[in-house]
Amino acid sequence: MPEAHNGDTTLYYETMGDPSNPTILLIMGLGAQMVAFRNEFCEIFVDAGFHIIRFDNRDVGLSSKTPGNPPALEKLLAAQWEEPTEPDVPYLLSDMANDAVAVLNAIGIEKAHLVGVSMGGMIAQMIVIDHPDRVLTLTSIMSTTGSPDAGTAKPELMMKMPLTVPSTREEAIANSVETFRLISGPHFDADDHAEEAAMTYDRNWNPNAQGFQIAAIFSSGDRTDALGSATTPTLVIHGRLDPLVQLSGGEATASAIPNSRLVVFDDMGHDLPEVLWSDMTKEIIGHAQANADN
């Protein structure tokens, strides 16, 4: 089983395509396993001449799991209004960025094009901040800067979201379907998502994953100022209908990073619908090819 190591953390990864080709590192979002980047989605990049790496973030899939219980969400929310202190959480987004770099190291990749989705976009932003020498380009999808003034969820969405942790396979699948029904755009397919949710549950589902990862997000602060010094060619993709990370998050990201480009899909929510794969990958491939010599 291909594994990378960042200290005591083990990261499971897979590759596709010719390793002599330029590498795209795909970084998935909150609680999601690497297989959420569907094989067919990855193959579009392989067919365009890229080497693809996808990996399970810590606490999901086949990667390491954090022991114990995640911090209480109420405590994390309250801390947002207090004087900044040393975060009392197991890890931060910067640690997850180091995980991604450890994957590149394990495969022997000096530089990669980064494509991060939602929390994965936040992790990719941290790689640009902490490890700029490892990055060719950044594509930040349906993500935000960590600023409390941008990319917040719609209040009415949070009133409807299922927040209890499922205790059975059936509950986990139903919970995932309902969550994505609420956050996705008009192309959401409930039956297709139920199949994916069942597959990821059987692959290796961790009920504590989202709690630990949300703690990392909330405790990592605002990246706006640090992103202002970035020189990485950046593409920002966002859905106009995104209710979880609203469009202001993508706009803030594009505003923070000099010379970045924002592409908005009018019929996209907080999801990667297959109907948009062609247009989305065209943007990412064009961005990578235009900055191949970075």
Give the Cβ contact number of residue 228 at 10 Å: 12
Whether the CB-CB separation of 33 and 203 falls below 8 Å is answered with: yes
pLDDT digits (tens, 9 = 90+) for 127-154: 999 999 999 999 999 999 999 999 999 9
> How many helices (H) does the chain have, and how many strands (E)?
11, 8
Burial string for 90-114 (b: 16+ CB within 10 Å, else e) reads bbbbbbbbbbbbbbbebbebebbbb
55 touches 105 (CB < 8 A): no
Residues 186-231: tens digit of each pLDDT:
999 999 999 999 999 999 999 999 999 999 999 999 999 999 999 9
pLDDT tens readout for residues 167-194: 999 999 999 999 999 999 999 999 999 9
Whole-number Å distance between alpha carbons of 136 and 175: 37
Does domain 3-290 bear CATH number 3.40.50.1820?
A: yes
238-272 residue pLDDT tens: 999 999 999 999 999 999 999 999 999 999 999 99
Give the C-alpha separation, 173 to 136, whole Å.
37
pLDDT attached to residue 163: 76
- Predicted structure pTM score: 0.96
Average of pLDDT values for 46-60? 98
Residue reference for tokens 């900055």: 291
Instruction: Say how far residue 206 (Cα) sits from the centre of its chain.
Output: 17
Q: What would the DSSP string read from start to end of 238-291?
A: EETT-SSS-HHHHHHHHHHSTT-EEEEETT--SS--GGGHHHHHHHHHHHHHHT
CB 253 within 8 A of CB 125: yes
